[in-house]
Amino acid sequence: LAKTTQPISMDSYEGQEVNITCSHNNIATNDYITWYQQFPSQGPRFIIQGYKTKVTNEVASLFIPADRKSSTLSLPRVSLSDTAVYYCLVGDTMRTGRRALTFGSGTRLQVQP
């Protein structure tokens, strides 16, 4: 089964760029890489999704190297409101053809003034 590895926590200051890297060595050919953000007492919120190279939206950028064994979520100029847990999600293809969705432990980002 594909497994993701992320740093447990990161600290930053307002206005800085934050890069969170996720390792997923066993990613399958047809899998997407998806990142979510979760604030306390709320459900996770979709941030960005990609398959290869680079994806950018109004919130973040996602960098995926050619081998797809890792991905980096980049948050430009973070603010205090970006303090949250960030999850990297990679779909599994199980032997039976079923797919599982596994949220790892996430990265707790703390942004300070």
Q: Considering only CA atoms, which of 70, 71, 69, 5 is closest in space to residue 60?
A: 71
Q: Contact region for another protein (CB under 8 A) — 12-20, 58-66, 74-82, 88-96?
A: 88-96
Candidates 27, 31, 70, 82: give the one binding another protein (CB under 8 A): 31
The encoded tokens of residue 36 equal 């979510």
Among the listed residues 17, 9, 10, the one whose alpha carbon sits nearest the alpha carbon of residue 78: 17
Least distance (Å) from another protein to the CB of residue 113? 27
CB closer to another protein out of 41 and 113:
41
CB 57 within 8 A of CB 50: no
Scanning 15-23, 39-47, 63-71, 73-81 for contacts with another protein by CB under 8 A, the matching segment is 39-47
Among positions 52-81, residues that touch another protein (CB under 8 A) are: none
b (16+ CB within 10 A) / e for 49-72: ebeeeebeeeebbbbbeeebebbb
Read off the tokens for 97: 């053809």
Contact flag: residue 111 with another protein (CB under 8 A)? no
**Rule CB under 8 A: is residue 89 a binding residue for another protein?**
yes
| Interacting residues toward another protein by CB under 8 A | 30-32, 34, 41-46, 49, 51, 87, 89, 91, 94, 98-106
